[in-house]
Amino acid sequence: MRGEYCVGGASFLSFVALLLLIFVHVGQINTSLVPHGIAMAKVDTSGFGKALSEAILDPDQGLYTTNYTSPLGQRNGLRQIYEFGLYSYCAYVNSSAGTCTNRTIADNFEPYVALTSDMFTNYSQYSDTMFANTTFINSSYLAYNSRVAYYFILLGTIFATIALFTGVARRAMLFFISTASSIIAALFILIGAAIWTSIVKKCEGVNTWEISQLDGGIISGIIVSYGSGIYLAWAAFACLAAATVPYMVSCCTFRG
Ligand SMILES: *[C@@H]1O[C@H](CO)[C@@H](O)[C@H](O)[C@H]1NC(C)=O
Ligand SMILES: *[C@@H]1O[C@H](CO)[C@@H](O)[C@H](O)[C@H]1NC(C)=O
Ligand SMILES: *[C@@H]1O[C@H](CO)[C@@H](O)[C@H](O)[C@H]1NC(C)=O
């Protein structure tokens, strides 16, 4: 009987982990309610226009667009908020209205490219100078790490699924597989979540970055922050790590 309780507990934890991971995957695939609420990273550019016009001593003219449907990455104007998911990113002109890029497997996290590809060329050229030497502008580093993290999260999700489905069968061999899968899933999600946490943390350097020395220093006006997807990934890791204990106990004691 104790074995059965263990399997139940482990299955429940695996199920919760899988659910959380599915939410992580759907983040920013479109602008509807749930995907909109889930992102790995957020970039709020609303203060940048003012900072830029102070830095270049020129009123900002047409930096932002209010047309929320105009396609991204085609110099149609900066949006107020950019949110990055695993497959695409979306940009919003206010808290609700926005548009997304096409979905790609292992989409690159390149927030600087996302922002500057929406600006007119003269503004993106100013930005290239102002953000030189920040991690935020280091797109190849961010893209590489986000791709690696994506594959860890994808494999972690697959192993979590295997752990869940093999855990319900009453076979010793399958308990061994579910225990092993649960451990591997926890490890992979840990690595994926840690990489994402680290790259967003490094991008946060831009929040206090001075784009000009005028007036004793003008702060960028760009705010990078963690999205809820990172917290969901950490929660999924916690569930998978917790599930390994009852899986192991079932594996050793319950052989139906
Ligand atoms: C907004 O952008 C879309 C797509 O580019 C375009 O079809 C539409 O006419 C624009 N709306 C306005 C008000 O400019
Ligand atoms: C956001 O912008 C859209 C389109 O301009 C508008 O319809 C909507 O009411 C705005 N929402 C808020 C919360 O301001
Ligand atoms: C996105 O997908 C649409 C439809 O498949 C296509 O027309 C468009 O060119 C794509 N955009 C980019 C940037 O790849």
Rounded CA separation 227/9 (Å): 29
The answer to whether 119 and 78 are in contact (CB under 8 A) is yes
Which residue, by CA, sits nearest to atom 4 of ligand 2? Answer: 97
* Better-scored residue on pLDDT, 143 or 6: 143
Ligand lying nearest the CA atom of residue 117: 3
Would you call 45 helix, strand, or coil by DSSP?
coil
Rounded CA separation 212/52 (Å): 9
Ligand lying nearest the CA atom of residue 80: 2
Centre of ligand 2 from the C-alpha of residue 121, in Å: 27
* Better-scored residue on pLDDT, 58 or 84: 84
Domains of the chain listed by start with CATH number: 2-253 (1.20.140.150)
The answer to whether 61 and 223 are in contact (CB under 8 A) is no
Task: Tell me the pLDDT tens digit for each residue of 151-167.
Answer: 999 999 999 999 999 88
Q: Which residues contact 185 (CB under 8 A, 6 or more apart)?
A: 17, 156, 157, 158, 159, 160, 162, 163, 240
Centre of ligand 3 from the C-alpha of residue 102, in Å: 6
Centre of ligand 3 from the C-alpha of residue 84, in Å: 18
Atom of ligand 1 nearest to the CA of 76: 5
Q: Which pLDDT does position 248 carry in this prediction?
A: 79
CA distance readout (Å), 15 to 29, 157, 245: 22, 11, 15
Ligand lying nearest the CA atom of residue 31: 2
- Read off the pTM: 0.90
Centre of ligand 1 from the C-alpha of residue 58, in Å: 27
